[in-house]
A and B are shown apart, each in its own frame.
Chain A
């Protein structure tokens, strides 16, 4: 029963990922009082791209076409780590947040290589900026997760979620506050949302993620877009799971099983709206202000870890 639930929640996460992007885009459009595309638009894009031919630059080597595949596979495997419906996941027991973070790192590394293989300046530009952002984002992300893991006295994702579920929401220690703050800032940087990177632009000055995938087309581009969507969903699910897991089905009763998906969808919707609001209320930061943005995240993460020792 548990295993089935695990597999379902992993597939659920991968399936609704494009939907989440659709919802975010739609809400952002509404805020900017535009009609905006339908919520199901990302699915249509994916289907269209899968049918198109795969254009490959002549200078590119085999790695160019391999990178999207590895990115997608790794991101989907990472998705299997996050407890969604009940506080355990397919790899939740054995795997832990260090493995999760470094799996995402594989995807990012191969995407950067794929971008530079294109042979144009956009790939190099995107990869270089991605290197800057990821170099500064990984440490706070890990430290935040470390602080939460210390409180939960375990390293596995399911263990962390289980310990937060058991606590009373009002008595959560300050560490969770700092960790949440750091995670949010890092999430924005990781998924390439507005203050750090504008997902919807093709302006050389500002794009990071888009620059890397400029050369891709057809199924490769589809895989990359889907992987990106899964990554967004995955990080939002992680935020929800680690900091507000209270709707999860702790027992296998029917009511709990019905309530869990609803709670998850509701929380995801709230997060999507929050992202949309942030995106439309802020302008993209200048490239060399991103380090201060992530510096803030590192400070919060260091405080979180320090407080785990002080508040013991």
Chain B
């Protein structure tokens, strides 16, 4: 029996580190498909955490949420993104406005900043720091990706990473919100991604390119 408890405890402790690694790789990634794979691994790690918490907290709800995460974030969304990338036959280049090395350093900086920010809260609220720090890091990383990457699809992925951060924050602090709210949030996320995909297709049709920084007709 100890093995499962041990596995759950280990999963909880080490998941933060794995998340940081995926963030750094995503910063260095050059192709959109690698980013999509990294996003699905992130979601998988989070699913593992939820299972560990569910096992520790013995709440049936958490299992449902974990299943939801696996279905939506690990399988459905990445599959949809891959189909979009294939249909658009757009160049896989990430078209980042900062070079690879710069992005990695900035990402590392963001991770350190999130630790610095989280420390006062973690102590007062008796939460384990590294998970909360991971959540805030995901949040800041999503923001950085959206600001620095020029490709429309990369902005979608940045947004998804940001959502992941918030979801992880909810997870670590309060062991998940009421189930109905969770489902609602997932549904909105799905609709959001669907609509962004639709708009990416429309941009493709009207502008013949996917470079967001070139969308500058509406000014002043």
In-complex A–B contact (CB below 8 Å): no
Residues of A within 8 A of B (CB): none
